[in-house]
Amino acid sequence: MPDRILLLEDEPFIALDLEGVLEEHGYDDVVAIVDPHLSDGL
């Protein structure tokens, strides 16, 4: 498994949901950055 996962998201609730799913599957080092300026095309 990777050492760390970087999660970029513009919606805080989606970031929290994805963090939870990743942690349930064994990824315990997830860094979520929530920035409302991120576009869907990134």
Where does the pLDDT of residue 1 fall: very low under 50, low under 70, confident under 90, or very high at 90 and above? Answer: low
The residue extents of the domains of the chain are 5-34
Q: What is the pLDDT of residue 6?
A: 93
Q: What is the C-alpha separation between 40 and 29, in angstroms, rounded?
A: 24
Angle, vertex CA 10, rays to CA 5 and CA 12, nearest 5: 80
pLDDT, position 42: 53
Displacement of CA 15 from its chain's centroid (Å)? 5
Residue 5 β-bridge partners: 30
> pLDDT tens, 2-29?
688 999 999 999 999 999 999 999 998 9
Per-residue pLDDT band at 40 (split at 50, 70, 90): low
pLDDT for 36: 86
